[in-house]
Amino acid sequence: MLRGIVRHYQTLFDVPNVLGVYASMSVVFRKLSEAHIVLTTLKDHLELGSIKLLRKLLNSHKENFARFPRLLESPGIFF
């Protein structure tokens, strides 16, 4: 079963051999963590409170779209 999972991962992420799986998993995890940080930052800056579901966060853009220009100009939001 583990071999099947590893082969499937290799196919999904175009990893040619088993030795590259761990490095690839590290990259995927890092990008996932970065996306989580961005969503959390947006949620905080848009003052969305305790909304935890991604769908609710993304759907809330309609109400908060006017805030984006100010948000992008505010210092410290990006590194």
Please give the Cα distance from 58 to 62 (Å, whole number). 9
| pLDDT at residue number 18 | 86
Burial-class residue 39 by CB neighbours within 10 Å (0-12, 13-18, 19+).
middle
What global pTM score does this model have?
Answer: 0.53
The pLDDT value given to residue 55? 63
Residue ranges of the chain whose pLDDT lies below 70: 49-79
How far apart (Å, rounded) are the C-alpha atoms in residues 46 and 67?
7
Q: What is the pLDDT of residues 58-77, one digit of tens each?
A: 666 666 665 655 555 555 55
CA 26 to chain centre: 14
Q: Domain coordinates of the chain in residue numbers?
A: 2-73
